[in-house]
């Protein structure tokens, strides 16, 4: 009875604390993820007040949190949308992977962590935070902007890449050889391809089978189906998160919308628990030694993400302002970086990888919303100054009898949506 009471007090305090942190973050309009990570650091190994009896339950809740994160992401997209994105935007996905995964791999090798850690850290630096970016786009009123489909396409391609990447990482962390790893990857690709095929051809039938007018029954069926598929996927040595993602893709229409509304509170609850759990297993004293590498990696990959978004938006014919907005929006890292790092921490391949990933995510989850808001105005200001300097040079040259012409002024056009520019002006 005593241990049960302590568990209730501990877990209740965790949930209450997360709620208060979420309200605080919402009041100042930034992502609560860094606060959740800091809470985990405060109450974990080497923290102010380490938890005891509730840690095992928090671990289970964290695993459910990862599954729900990927399920909800899958519900956002239809199989036809994913196929279309693959056909039209795959060059942007390749550029994204090259520019943002390689710095992480290089840093791991420079630190002497070995090839497996290099593959893991490459994933940490590669994948942007869909949750943080979606919230930022909504907060800034950019969901209807012309560059937003480009941003979403890159995020979709990253999420699809997880279906291939996670099984590879899982096999590497398990110490599987080339043959076993190849079988695991083949199974993952086969399952992903089969689910996409079924979703495209029979998505309506699957949704009709799951559908129910009773919210309680719909919640139980979707949640139960997701956990079963995730468990089977994990048993086949394919990531449980990928299994959940594929379930989300298979559901569409009213079923997907209804499931999204019902599961959103559960997702938020267990995702918050997941971030706390990751922090619980990171000793705060282990962060200062890796702070400089994390900061260097954050600076480099912030610029590479901006370059990725700029290039992809330019390829899509977006104006210069929209290109900068697209690049700045993609900077934030968050839930997926922590999911990937969490696999490595659980496997115990490199003690410093978890602290570095925590510091890295803390930096970019705070910087990301700022780059989304200010990259375009800053680039515009610098362009105007450069254009002004060129114009002054041209005037001086003309006055001195030279035929030098001034550079044309920077593009002033805003990407408008429904007659409004990005700042909401008519």
Distance between CA atoms of 320 and 220, rounded to whole angstroms?
Answer: 47
Beta partners for residue 420, in sequence order: 417
Q: What is the pTM of this model?
A: 0.70
Distance between CA atoms of 44 and 277, rounded to whole angstroms?
Answer: 8
- In the predicted structure, residue 400 carries a pLDDT above the cut 50: no
User: Looking at the chain, how many residues does it have?
Assistant: 426
- In the predicted structure, residue 212 carries a pLDDT above the cut 70: yes
Q: Which residues 6+ apart lie within 8 Å of 125 measured at CB?
A: 100, 101, 103, 104, 107, 297, 301, 333, 337, 360
268-327 pLDDT, tens digit each: 888 788 778 777 767 778 888 999 999 999 999 999 999 999 999 999 889 999 999 999
The confidence band for 417, taking pLDDT boundaries of 50, 70 and 90, is: very low
Question: If you search the block for the tokens 């129910």, which residue do you land on?
Answer: 212
Distance between CA atoms of 426 and 419, rounded to whole angstroms?
Answer: 6
Please report the pLDDT score of residue 420 as a whole number. 40
59-117 pLDDT, tens digit each: 788 788 878 877 887 787 676 766 676 677 789 989 999 999 999 999 999 999 988 89
Distance between CA atoms of 162 and 242, rounded to whole angstroms?
Answer: 7
Sign of CA dihedral 281, 127, 238, 185: negative
Q: Give the angle subtended at the CA of 89 by the CAs of 85 and 91, to the nearest 5°.
A: 145
The confidence band for 347, taking pLDDT boundaries of 50, 70 and 90, is: confident
Please report the pLDDT score of residue 418 as a whole number. 42
Two tokens, residue 310: 């700029």
Are 151 and 326 a contacting pair, CB within 8 Å?
yes
What's the 3-state SS for 382-399?
A: HHHHHHHHHHHHHHHHHH
Distance between CA atoms of 156 and 196, rounded to whole angstroms?
Answer: 14
Mean pLDDT for 4-32 is 81
Please report the pLDDT score of residue 391 as a whole number. 59
Beta partners for residue 417, in sequence order: 420
Question: If you search the block for the tokens 């938020």, which residue do you land on?
Answer: 268
26-69 pLDDT, tens digit each: 787 767 877 887 888 777 665 566 666 666 777 788 788 878 87
354 vs 296, more confident: 296
Average pLDDT of the residues of the chain: 78
- In the predicted structure, residue 167 carries a pLDDT above the cut 60: yes
- Termini Cα distance of the chain: 64
Query: Torsion over CA of 276, 278, 279 and 285, rounded to 10 degrees?
Result: 170
Distance between CA atoms of 164 and 1, rounded to whole angstroms?
Answer: 46
- In the predicted structure, residue 397 carries a pLDDT above the cut 90: no
Two tokens, residue 217: 């029954």
Mean pLDDT for 1-25 is 80
Two tokens, residue 316: 């899509």
Distance between CA atoms of 204 and 43, rounded to whole angstroms?
Answer: 46
Please report the pLDDT score of residue 99 as a whole number. 95
Q: Which residues 6+ apart lie within 8 Å of 197 measured at CB?
A: none
Sign of CA dihedral 213, 216, 218, 221: negative
Distance between CA atoms of 44 and 28, rounded to whole angstroms?
Answer: 26
């Amino acid at each position: 009875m005593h241990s049960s009471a302590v568990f209730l007090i501990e877990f209740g305090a965790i949930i209450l604390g997360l709620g208060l942190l979420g309200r605080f973050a919402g009041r100042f309009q930034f992502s609560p993820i860094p606060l959740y990570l800091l809470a985990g650091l405060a109450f974990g190994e080497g923290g102010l007040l380490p938890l005891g009896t509730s840690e095992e339950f928090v671990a289970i809740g964290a695993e459910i949190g990862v599954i729900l994160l990927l399920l909800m992401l899958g519900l956002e997209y239809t199989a036809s949308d994913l196929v279309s994105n693959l056909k039209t935007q795959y060059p942007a996905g390749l550029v994204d992977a090259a520019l943002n995964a390689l710095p992480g791999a290089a840093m791991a090798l420079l630190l002497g962590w070995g090839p497996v850690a290099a593959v893991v850290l490459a994933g940490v630096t590669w994948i942007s935070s869909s949750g943080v970016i979606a919230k930022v786009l909504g907060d800034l009123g950019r969901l209807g902007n012309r560059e937003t489909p480009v941003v979403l396409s890159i995020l979709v391609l990253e999420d699809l890449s997880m279906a291939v990447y996670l099984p590879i990482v899982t096999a590497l962390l398990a110490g599987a050889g080339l043959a076993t790893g190849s079988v695991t990857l083949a199974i993952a690709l086969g399952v992903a391809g089969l689910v996409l095929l079924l979703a495209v051809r029979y998505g309506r039938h699957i949704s009709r089978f799951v559908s129910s007018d009773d919210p309680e029954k719909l919640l139980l069926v979707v949640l139960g189906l997701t956990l079963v598929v995730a468990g089977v996927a994990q048993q086949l040595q394919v990531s449980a998160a990928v299994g959940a993602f594929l379930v989300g893709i298979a559901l569409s229409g009213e079923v997907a919308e209804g499931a999204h509304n019902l599961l959103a509170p559960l997702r938020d609850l267990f995702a918050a628990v997941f971030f706390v759990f990751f922090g619980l297993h990171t000793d705060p004293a282990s962060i200062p030694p890796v702070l400089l590498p994390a900061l260097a990696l954050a600076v480099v990959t912030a610029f590479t993400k901006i370059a990725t978004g700029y290039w992809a938006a330019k390829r899509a014919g977006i104006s210069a302002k929209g290109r900068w907005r697209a690049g700045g929006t993609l900077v934030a890292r968050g839930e997926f970086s922590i999911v990937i790092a969490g696999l490595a921490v659980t496997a115990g391949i490199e003690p410093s990888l978890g602290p570095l990933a925590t510091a890295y995510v803390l930096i970019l989850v705070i910087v990301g919303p700022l780059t989304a808001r200010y990259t375009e105005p800053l680039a515009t200001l610098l362009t105007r100054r450069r254009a002004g300097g060129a114009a002054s040079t041209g005037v001086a040259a003309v006055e001195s009898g030279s035929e030098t012409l001034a550079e044309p002024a920077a593009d002033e056009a805003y990407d408008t949506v429904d007659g409004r520019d990005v700042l909401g002006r008519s």
